[in-house]
Amino acid sequence: MMRFLIVPDKFKGCMTALEVARAMGRGVRDAIPSADVRLIPLADGGDGTGEILSCGVGARRRQVGVKGPLGGRVMAGFGLDGKRAFLDMASASGLALIPAAKRNPWQTSSFGTGQLLDAAVEAGAEQVVMGVGGSATVDGGLGMMKALGVRFLDVAGREVADGGAGVGRVCKVELEKCVWRGRRVELIILADVWNPLLGPFGAAPVFAPQKGASPAMVKQLAKGLERFADVLRKQFGVKIHRLRSGGAAGGVVAGLIGVLNQVKGVKVRVVDGIGHVLEVLQVEDAMRKTDWVLTAEGQLDGQTARGKTIAGVASLARRCRKPVAAFAGRVAVDPGTLRRMGVRAAFPLAPGPCSLEESLKNGHDWLCRAVANAVALIPG
């Protein structure tokens, strides 16, 4: 009996990771009805990662009312598994919560995610795992930390405003009223990008335009984040300017590491998102018991090798000595790059030139067919 392990990410705007996995499983069985198929939906730190982990370990889901990225109340959730919690920044402070016309990182705040983090700790979590993809903010985690009681003061000793507008006005940070002070809390941030906080590939130039920033606003946000980083270096002696993945989620990673690690009892660290997910969901054990590994995500391009799902799966499969086939809505890498990643072959879904609307509409059926056609080539 041929054994297949199906470990895909979501196709954003088209299918969830579970829906992708089910479509791929159907494709395998269409080609080889007797196949043994195991599905493990994945994520790499992008939006939905916390939910994937919660479901994967059977965590109890809880809902909390928090402040949305532009104010107002939104419902966000976390999963609790003993003293470990899983959550997504996007559920409280996500871009999808804001109509396109109102997206403005000068104003959007991560405050609600801070409320969600604290709710998880109050529920008993001592370790919180947070995916930060899909955020609407470029505030360096300022709002998030304000929700936890950290005070950010301007030159006159007044608290700065929320959002990207407040970051560059910070002159001093006060930790004494942080609600986590003296508690044992480990915050693990899952990142799916390597971008630093500052520079041409930093949080503002790369991510702010996606969140509604104009070119002039991008420059203002970049200056504000640089000033914030300088303040933390001067006050705490920490250097977050070039921290790997520090620019993720609009500088949230750099900000949280730079500030919350100064709070007694608190430990913050950033890890490779897909690597952590593979470990928590015990994918290696499943991989060693399979013949073929099938993975997928929306686009396979030059960014894939830098922290994305397909690259993480391929790296693990190389250690397990298992062949990997990948599927994507668009494949924009050459065979040599695929081989270096550890992918045996990659298959685009569309049968020919098509619009984005056609791809979204037909993604499920095209994926199923592509998998069936590829699997049919495997010698029985």
Q: What is the pLDDT of residues 38-69, one digit of tens each?
A: 999 999 998 899 999 999 999 999 999 999 99
Helix (H, G, I), strand (E, B) or coil at 131: strand
Decide if 380 is inside a domain.
no
Structural domain boundaries enclosing 169:
49-274
Number of helical (H) and strand (E) elements in the chain, helices listed first: 14, 13
Count of domains for the chain: 2
pLDDT (average), residues 348-359:
83
Tell me: pLDDT of 256 over 70: yes
Q: Is the model more confident about 301 or about 141?
A: 141
Residue 301, pLDDT score = 84
Tell me, yes or no, whether 157 and 129 share the same domain: yes
Tell me, yes or no, whether 29 and 63 share the same domain: no
Tell me, yes or no, whether 322 and 207 share the same domain: no
Tell me, yes or no, whether 14 and 157 share the same domain: no
Q: What's the DSSP call for residue 210?
A: G
Percent of the chain with pLDDT over 70: 99
Tell me, yes or no, whether 61 and 37 share the same domain: no
- For the chain, the average pLDDT equals 95
| Both structure tokens of 289 | 């018991």
Which of 135, 165, 138, 136 minimizes the C-alpha distance to 152?
A: 165
Tell me: pLDDT of 304 over 80: no
Tell me, yes or no, whether 198 and 125 share the same domain: yes
Residue 305, pLDDT score = 67
pLDDT band (50, 70, 90) for residue 147: very high
Residue 354, pLDDT score = 80
- Return all residues near 258 (Cβ < 8 A) that are at least 6 apart: 229, 232, 236, 238, 240
pLDDT (average), residues 108-117:
98
Tell me, yes or no, whether 230 and 313 share the same domain: no
Check: CB of residue 241 under 8 Å from CB of residue 253.
no
**What CATH number corresponds to the domain at position 13?**
3.40.50.10350
pLDDT (average), residues 343-364:
87
Tell me, yes or no, whether 308 and 243 share the same domain: no
pLDDT band (50, 70, 90) for residue 156: very high
pLDDT (average), residues 105-118:
98
Total length of the chain: 380
Q: What is the pLDDT of residues 80-100, one digit of tens each?
A: 999 999 999 999 999 999 999
Tell me, yes or no, whether 198 and 293 share the same domain: no
Residue 379, pLDDT score = 83
Which of 14-23, 157-166, 325-334 shows the lowest mean pLDDT across its residues? 325-334
At which residue do the structure tokens 């403005």 appear? 104
- Quick check: pTM over 0.95? no
Tell me, yes or no, whether 191 and 305 share the same domain: no
Residue 364, pLDDT score = 93
Orientation of helix 17-31 relative to helix 356-375, angle to 10°: 40
pLDDT (average), residues 208-236:
98
Decide if 88 is inside a domain.
yes
Tell me, yes or no, whether 30 and 105 share the same domain: no
State which of 253, 274, 295 marks the end of a domain. Answer: 274
State which of 205, 240, 274 marks the end of a domain. Answer: 274
Tell me: pLDDT of 306 over 80: no
- Return all residues near 41 (Cβ < 8 A) that are at least 6 apart: 7, 8, 9, 10, 16, 17, 18, 20, 21, 52, 55, 56
Tell me: pLDDT of 230 over 70: yes
pLDDT (average), residues 270-280:
96
Which of 48-52, 153-157, 328-332 shows the lowest mean pLDDT across its residues? 328-332
Tell me, yes or no, whether 120 and 178 share the same domain: yes
pLDDT (average), residues 139-168:
97
Residue 355: Cβ-neighbour burial (10 angstroms; 0-12, 13-18, 19+)? exposed
pLDDT band (50, 70, 90) for residue 308: confident
**What CATH number corresponds to the domain at position 169?**
3.90.1510.10
pLDDT (average), residues 25-37:
97
Phi-psi region of 127 (alpha: psi -120 to 50; beta: other; left: phi over 0): beta
pLDDT (average), residues 264-287:
97
